[in-house]
Amino acid sequence: MRQKPDLSFWKLFNISFGFFGVQIAYALQSANISRIFATLGADPHQLSFFWILPPLMGMVVQPIIGLLSDKTWCRFGRRIPYLFVGAIVAVAVMLMLPNAGSLGLTTQVVMWGLSGTMLFGLMSLMFLDTSINIAMQPFKMMVGDMVNIRQKGLAYSIQSFLCNAGSLVGYLFPYIFTFLGVQNVAPEGVIPNSVIYSFYIGAAILILCVIYTTVNVKEYSPEEMKAFGEEESAPLPAGQAPAAHQQKVSIPYTFFSIGLVQFFCWAAFMYMWTYTPGAIAAQCWGTTDVASQGYQEAANWVGVVFAVQAVGSVIWAMLIPMFRTYKLAYVVSLLVGGAGFISILWVTNQYVLWISFLLIGAAWAGMLALPFTLFTNALQGNPKMGTYLGLFNCTICLPQIVAAVVGSPLLKSLTPEGGEAPQVYMLVIAGVLLIAGALSVSIIKEKR
């Protein structure tokens, strides 16, 4: 049985380059969704409910994409057709979502306690996250398909670097456009041009990056996969049923052990994406009025501190290979990130926030690279790699859904009667969750 060959750095880079564009789209969504819905009139206590859709769509879509792409072989490849279709849909939605407040839709409640503009934004968000998930998952699967176990850590580190570089660009776009003179304040209920233009440029970069990967990556053929001992991945002849031993799906222990750690980690970051705009506006700008210039400046600064987090993640990703084991790197990454979240409680200067988010970047780097490295190492040679990775995405999406459902009543319980919602406390809770995740790493069995 042949072994998968070592790939050059640039071949590893090309496999994941399209992820750079996908992550720009994801960063724009992560940094601006709470800002968009707050501008459209959402109450702070409602914000977490708007965040249920993205992970819910991911949990539904990614296992399906994994299962279907395992059985797909065509002239364009195995995973590439899915990432290309996902990118096309994402581009279309990115052109629509930021215009939710500018289409003349009703601002009156029409359904589920939501106005017409918020319903349009909610549906756009659903399609955006669905398409991003369709485009994102194939990149992880291609690393599993095409990279041998010796280079798996390097390949996911490259993917982590490109992910953070894309995040850096996406997070900074509104701040950069405001600096260039684009309007950052709009009439009540309307999204500022600085955000709208950011989504437009992000959509253009996304499609160009995906085209680059599509042109420069040639996936292994069914014959080559068979030679690598993964012949069960190939499609069966029409009418032929799989053998009984092939029908059995046995989820490895690693799935559940890493899944527990993932639960704490992704719940923590759900609270970061949801509550950072309101927390920073209150802590450093002293305002909770979403129509005020101060709130919009704070919302731009969210992109800046998220970009600082991405820089911290890139730096930490370079340190991860220096740890003796992946598990040790995982524990330290989460503890450092937890300290960063908790420190925000005492920060009132916008520039001091950089220290907190540099620390949070360490946790993000560990979450991007280490779970997939540990899991795909445990699956090495398994013909259902794509299916398992699709299922593994549930360990990312489910905790976000739980956190979103719990977030509203939790924030209400922390809000004094007649007072403002203390959104910064939700970031402290995020830090506690990361520490719990670090303590849970001990149950993972690492395949060396």
Range 318-338 average pLDDT: 91
Residue 302 has pLDDT above 80, yes or no: yes
- Joined together, the tokens standing for residue 115 give 């106005």
pLDDT at 243: 42
- What stretch of H or E contains 210? helix 193-216
Residue 141 has pLDDT above 70, yes or no: yes
pLDDT at 237: 37
- Give the confidence band of 77 by pLDDT, cuts at 50, 70, 90: confident
State whether residue 94 is helix, strand or coil.
Answer: helix
- Percentage of residues of the chain with pLDDT beyond 70: 87
Strands (E) located in 127-201? none
Range 213-236 average pLDDT: 68
- Give the confidence band of 239 by pLDDT, cuts at 50, 70, 90: very low
Residue 137 has pLDDT above 80, yes or no: no
Cα 323 → chain centroid:
25
pLDDT at 203: 94
315 vs 164, which has greater pLDDT? 315
119 vs 437, which has greater pLDDT? 437
CA distance 22 to 135: 7
pLDDT at 423: 92
Residue 249 has pLDDT above 50, yes or no: no
Q: How do residues 160-199 score in pLDDT, each as one tens digit?
A: 788 878 888 999 999 999 999 998 887 777 888 999 999 9
φ and ψ at residue 323, rounded to 5 degrees? -75, 150
**What type of residue is 344?**
I
DSSP letter string, 248-306: -----HHHHHHHHHHHHHHHHHHHHHHHHHHHHHHHHS----TTSHHHHHHHHHHHHHH
Q: What's the DSSP call for residue 110?
A: E
Cα 272 → chain centroid:
12
Nearest to 394 by CA among 373, 369, 366, 375: 375
Residue 240 has pLDDT above 50, yes or no: no
Number of alpha carbons in the 13 Å side-chain half-sphere of residue 118 = 22
pLDDT at 104: 55
Q: 423: which residues sit within 8 A by CB, 6+ positions away?
A: 44, 275, 278, 279, 282, 411
Domain 9-219+253-443, CATH class in plain words: mainly alpha
Residue 422 has pLDDT above 80, yes or no: yes
pLDDT at 105: 55
pLDDT at 60: 77
Nearest to 64 by CA among 355, 393, 423, 419: 393
CA distance 350 to 105: 36
Range 270-280 average pLDDT: 93
CA of 318: how far to CAs of 161, 244, 348, 388, 442, in Å?
9, 44, 31, 27, 23
CA of 100: how far to CAs of 107, 122, 196, in Å?
11, 9, 10
pLDDT at 241: 38
Most confident segment among 34-48, 205-219, 315-329, 340-354 = 340-354
